[in-house]
Structure 1
Amino acid sequence: MRAMKKGLMTLIGVALVGSQLVACTNSSTNTPANTATSTAESKTVTPSPVAAKPVEITWWNFPNFQPLDGEVGKYEKQIIAAFNKKYPEIKVNLEMITFEGGPQKLNVAIASNSAPDVIYDAPGRIIDWGKKKLLAPLNDIVTDEVKKDITPALWKQSMVGDQIYMYPINTAPFMMAVNKTVFEKIGALDLLPLSRPDRTWTVAEYEKALQAVKEKAPEIIPTGFFAKSTAGDQGTRAYIANLGVSRFLSEDNSKVAINTDNAAKALDWVAKATKDKISVSGSASLAAADVNDLFLQGKLAFTLNYSAVLKAQNVPLKKVQFEDILLPFPTLDGSKPKLEPYLGGMAVFNNGNADKITAAKKLVDFIANDPEYAKKNLIQTGGLSARTSITGLYSDAEYKYAETARQFITDAPTIADGYAEIRTFWFPELQRVLTGAATGKEALDSFATKANEAIAKAKKDQAAAK
């Protein structure tokens, strides 16, 4: 989108017309008549308020809010209705998009200069758009109070330089989940780290739990893995990184860090676990959604891509009733895990229309901060607040654990230069290992070479664009 890439135009402030008090009296002179009239009470004339200029905006939304009465988008319509009580001049056209087809639809819209005005999404796409100058900065609607109330790790995922491109709203650490009911039935609940307040555990303990499921509940697949596409890749990244006590990228996101010997052994272990029927078969062609579906059908003991948000969203999707419990990824030595955060927030596209940008920002601020709807919105996402001062939204024990697990949140690679390209190299290398075409070390080294080139190119391109 050529116009958007050049920034197009700066944001124009909206002039507010205030009411004025005008004292109306006759001109003062020394004549008796005028002296008399000057003693009369002055009259106040208040001009009629100027009606706000009508504006129409489009909001595209993934199903970030749980459906009401089974209807996707119904809650969003309630938000819009409440928003219009405050801003009747702003018409909001809602379009719901799916996690499967939405990303491509957005790419096409951006390429054809028809992007929505506002979107609720995650840092991976939003920060990439911000780096390409496709978005309007949100600094002017983020108060100092909010800035201080959100951790640097989350702001890091919401900004490019000193420009805020995503307004953080809900968060939760990505973790594993276990079907606790399976372990209760086979009498192996003691193999899970549930008695520990932080629930940390080792790879050896994890292996014992998997083996118990294989031996005592042969109809249940012990654990899952997937490598079909980029969807849900935060799960496989964190799984391999924690099993191998490694980082995915370096702390400054300048290069790949996961191609360590321990991470390579972890990836080899995944391939062997597949052959040994401890991990789901055919994982090279399974998507993240396929594995979670197996979990929701009660056919899988552990799943890799879970969070408090997904736990809430999955309640109506369970095919059988069971208790799903959140767990951190096990680590080789029992050290504290590194969990990537889920972070949801809103962004405004710079479509070159100052009125639309201003209106879109009002919608963002309403969803994030309205006294009545802000907390309702958080609860409807099933997530925790991005703000540290807002806690205790839920009484559920798993939400309380999710609050505890926030201590393990690390910076996510989604803000790395070239991330959109980096992630396209990850799943093909996993596929090579799962199909026996490469060892874990060969695959991770190959990934590192390609990803490092993408990072260097992205940095170079950004420098040239300045």
Structure 2
Amino acid sequence: MINWKKMTALMTTGILLATAAGCQSKNSSQGADIDIEDVIEDTEETAEPEKSTEVVSDLEARISWWTYPIFVEDEEQGDGSYEQSLIQKFNEKYPNITVEVKYLDYTDGPKQLEEQIKAEGGELPNVLLDEPGRISTYAKEGLLSDLSDLFTEDVIADMVSPGIISACQSGDAYVMYPLSGSNYVMAFNRSMLEESGAMELLNQEGARTWTTEAFEQVITKLHDAGFNAGMLYCSGIAGDYATRSFITNLYDGSLMNEDMTSYTVNSEAGQKALSKIKSWMDGGLLLNGTDSSGADAVSSFVAGNNSYCLLWSLPQAISNAEALQENGVDVVVMPYPAEDGTPSLEYMLNGFCIFKTEDEQKEQASRYLIDFLCNDESVAQENVVRSGAFPVRSSMGDVYGGNEEASLYEALMPYSGPYYQKVNGFEEMRVYWYQMETEILDGEYSVKEAANSFVEYANKTLTQKKEQ
């Protein structure tokens, strides 16, 4: 059986902290009625009957696989037991490939790998399971193999979103092979929606996409009924992906241009969105969160103090489940609104890369391992479920057995947009982003002045040199 406490810890640490450090509440929350134990048991029970395994290749090689704690472990087993079971299954088809696993944590793992990169003759993995931001950094340093041969026409056609395909690229090369992902969303308090009469204005079908106009009608009803609005928090960078998705989608703008060579928040669409959030704040439809963090916004929503929260995800729903239940807060999850009703969402993504080696046997063995973990029917679906995320391949279908909450996240995957985190200077840009929001909400500068200043300084981060 799955260790549910460990599941919560891994998802909170591995997904939430890796992408928005410090944004989870101290308590636990709700809105995610997904029992991973049952899903995995169902996956195992409905798997095709075991057939006599045929050897795919007798290639001989010894490779290393470094991984973060992305997969949930069974309750009775120790850390790394699931990865070891995967290797055993892999060896049934590739009996002469020895795979040595090294387990990384999110606190020290990136530093450990960076130290090996800098050290003369440092030990690098053959295969790494990580996220696109760090993988893109390794690619820019010339350390990764080109995986373009794995991206056949059928694979590309099967990906749920062009944004995910782009996230796997560095220049013209594919440097990451994706396994699973999950979009960031927002959350509403169901009882407040129902009491205000706003519930009927929400699209509750499929991916639940909706327009900016509908969103404004909803928050107006909530405000008129006397409920506190959600807050646009901007005290620190944690959870900034939510405010970026929220603001850029309002009038179908974008954070950057198509080739990611310049920031575009000062565009007509961007300034219109920033002006709108200021007017909502002035009218009480959005709270000024210049002194509040993402964690503050989540905690306040979980406590039942706000009618909606801009910062939400499946890990937050899981980590806050008990507190939401105690506070009587039933969550309604929604994507960010867009003027045309078609959002472009930010997301987390898990995937594999291969570090270059002159050993052709190791190179091919590494490809075999990645293909097996992501595509082999005996393990691929369970790997997605154990990652606490959702398929990036349309052909994989519903891996959570029709669960309503999971179905929403699965339906949203095609709306995954550009993966901005892989551009140079992204971390520095995040500081300028929340500073711009603060300047606008506090009225320190006009929208035009603040947006232009953001673009000026953010663009400089794109060409800065990485410190050695």
Decide which structure has the larger Cα Rg and report it: 1
Whole-Å separation in 1 of the counterparts to 2:243 and 2:114: 25
Mapped pair 1:430 → 2:437: yes
Q: Is residue 340 of structure 1 aligned with residue 346 of structure 2?
A: yes
Q: What is the CA–CA distance in structure 2 between the aligned matches of 1:356 and 1:195, rounded to whole Å?
A: 49
Q: 1:283 to 1:108 in 2, by over 3 A?
A: farther
1:364 and 2:406 correspond? no
Residue in structure 2 matched with residue 78 of structure 1 by the alignment: 82
Gap change, CA 1:234 and 1:121, over 3 Å in 2: farther
Equivalent residue letter for 2:449: E
Contact 2:90–2:369, Cα closer than 8 Å, also in 1: no
Deviation for aligned residue 1:376 = 0.5
Query: In structure 2, what is the equivalent of residue 128 of structure 1?
Result: 137
Amino acid at match of 1:82: L
Are the equivalent residues in 2 in contact too, given 1:83–1:366 (CA < 8 A)? no
Shift in Å, 1:136? 2.9
Residue of 155, 158, 168 corresponding to 2:168: 158
CA deviations on 1:288-312 (whole Å, 9 max, x unpaired) are x443344444444323244xxx326
Q: Measured at CA, do residues 363 and 430 of structure 1 come closer, stay the same or move farther in structure 2, by a change above 3 Å?
A: farther
Output the amino acid matched with 1:425: Y
TM-score, structure 1 as length reference: 0.70
Q: In structure 2, what is the Cα distance between the partners aligned to 1:206 and 1:123?
A: 31
* 1:199 equivalent among 208, 225, 231: 208
| d(CA) in 1 for partners of 2:282, 2:305 | 18
Q: Which amino acid aligns with 1:338?
A: S
State the shift of 1:375 in Å.
0.2
Identity over aligned residues, as a percent? 26
8 Å contact kept, 1:118–1:360 = yes
Aligned 1:174-185 pairs, distance under 5 A: 174-184=184-194
What SS does the aligned partner of 1:337 have? coil
* 1:378 shift after superposition: 1.0
Residues 150-173 of structure 1, C-alpha deviations (whole Å, 9 max, x = no match):
254322210123422111111344
Q: Relative to structure 2, which stretch is displaced further, 438-447 or 318-327?
A: 318-327
Structure-2 separation of matches of 1:168 and 1:371: 16
1:317 maps to 320
Shift of 1:265: 4.4
Deviation at 1:374, TM superposition (A): 0.8
Structure 1 vs Structure 2 CA RMSD: 3.9
Q: Does structure 2 conserve the Cα–Cα contact (< 8 Å) formed by 1:171 and 1:341?
A: yes
SS at structure 1 position matched to 2:263: coil
The higher-RCO structure (CA 8 Å, 6+ apart) is 2
Are the counterparts in 1 of residues 203 and 210 from structure 2 also a CA contact under 8 Å?
no
Measure, in 2, the Cα distance between the counterparts of 1:251 and 1:216.
41
1:158 maps to amino acid? C
Runs of 5+ in structure 1 lacking a partner?
A: 1-49
- Counterparts of 1:66 and 1:280 in 2: how far apart (Å)? 37
Q: Distance in 2 between matches of 1:341 and 1:433?
A: 26
How many residue pairs match? The answer is 397
Could you tell me how far apart the structure 1 residues matched to 2:342 and 2:62 are?
Answer: 53
CA distance 1:271–1:121, shift in 2 (3 Å): farther
Q: 1:54, 1:126 → 2: CA distance?
A: 22
CA distance 1:358–1:298, change in 2 (3 Å): farther
Contact 1:90/1:359 (8 A) holds in 2? no
- Contact 1:259/1:444, CA 8 A, preserved across alignment: yes
Query: Would you say the 8 A contact 1:58–1:95 is kept in 2?
Result: no
> In the TM superposition, what is the alpha-carbon distance from 1:444 to its structure 2 partner?
1.4
With over 3 angstroms needed to count, the CA separation of the structure-2 counterparts of 1:193 and 1:59, relative to structure 1, is same
* Structure 2 residue identity aligned to 1:254: T
Give the superposition deviation at 1:423: 4.0
